[in-house]
Amino acid sequence: MPEERHIDLNSDPDFDNATVPPPDGDEADAIPEIAALRKDLDEAKDRMLRARAELENFRARTNREIANERKYASLDLIRNLLPVWDNLGRALEAVRKTHNTESLAEGVQLVYEQFVDVLKKHHCEKIEALHQQFDPHRHASIAQLPNAEFPPNTVIEETQTGFALHDRVVRPAQVVLAGAVADGV
């Protein structure tokens, strides 16, 4: 059996200059197979490098798209709020010209309703609090007053309206709660 030889073509810089003895019978048959395997390996490496580059390009493109989505996420909301801003300006201008507080009140009421509609359109709704049981996830208690009319921890006054976007609280409602009435008072 002939002695096996191993030639590392990748790590020998002098390979091109080396003199290699002619292969024996079995080795001569293996050379085309080795060349084919080397070609397959080079093609696989090339495909892997291309796939890695495509993945990196995809990640970079996705990150840019996400950044742009975040940057301009409120664009529709702003577009819907601008008419409210316009109407507030018109109401103020009308008051300056006419000094009619009744028409101002009507104008402000219309703008208020328009504003509420814009919030609803964008899934931002008021948190109902008055006469509700206190919910620490949706309400922020600022005081508790003795009250015989309602059970303890019932909201008896809302000092600031709370809002939720879908199911997430944007701002909790600030509330005053009913407390127990002391005996003998």
Q: What is the pLDDT of residues 76-102, one digit of tens each?
A: 889 999 999 998 888 888 878 887 778
Residues 178 and 154: beta-carbon distance below 8 Å: yes
Predicted confidence at residue 103, as pLDDT, reads 78
Q: SS3 for 22?
A: coil
User: Is residue 161 helix, strand or coil?
Assistant: coil
pLDDT (tens digit, 9 = 90+) per residue, 123-171?
A: 999 999 999 999 999 999 999 999 999 999 999 999 999 999 999 999 9
Please tell me the least confidently modeled range out of 12-26, 27-41, 87-101, 137-151: 12-26
The distance in angstroms from the start CA to the end CA of the chain is: 113
Q: Is the whole-model pTM more than 0.85?
A: no
- CA separation, residue 153 to residues 110, 175, 185 (Å): 35, 10, 20
